[in-house]
Amino acid sequence: EKESGDDLTEKQNKIIRALSNGLGDVRQGSLMRHEFAYVMGQLRDDRCCPSLEEALAKDGDCVMVRHEAAEALGAIGASRSYTVLRQVTNGNDTPVELVETCQIALNVMEWRDRGGDAAEMPAAC
């Protein structure tokens, strides 16, 4: 039996909520939270952006989690994410590895905005 579009959308919303909750829950541990961010990036769904942007912007959080959030935002490529990626890139106390990840994400997004094909997207880390 084929699902209706509404049923599928609700399932997707539940999955994204579960991933978002996991990403934001420090009790999950940094490695697991990093994995939540990774999966969200693989989904390439704009609905993941608010949680990923919040994780990226959280000064003092684990750099690995923030790094993966930046990569995920670059993979999703939503224009709304330019602001937070630039803010983190230009932050005075931003760790260099996070600055570099944000720069890569921004470069990929700009490349796609210029007409680059996502199927031929150059590999980042």
Q: Domains plus CATH for the chain?
A: 5-115 (1.25.10.10)
User: Is residue 57 scored above 60 in pLDDT?
Assistant: yes
Can you give the pLDDT at residue 121? Answer: 64
Please enumerate, as own/partner, the contacts of 94-102 that have beta carbons within 8 Å and a separation of 24 or more: 95/63, 97/63, 97/67, 98/63, 98/66, 98/67, 98/70, 101/67, 101/70, 101/71, 101/125, 102/56, 102/70
pTM of the model: 0.89
123: DSSP letter: P
Give CA–CA dist 85/96, Å, rounded. 14
User: Whole-number mean pLDDT of the chain?
Assistant: 93
**pLDDT grade for 123, boundaries at 50, 70 and 90:** low
Residue from 11, 111, 94, 19 nearest 59 by CA: 94
Mean pLDDT for the stretch of residues 56-65: 96
Can you give the pLDDT at residue 118? Answer: 66
Residue written as token pair 């699902």? 3
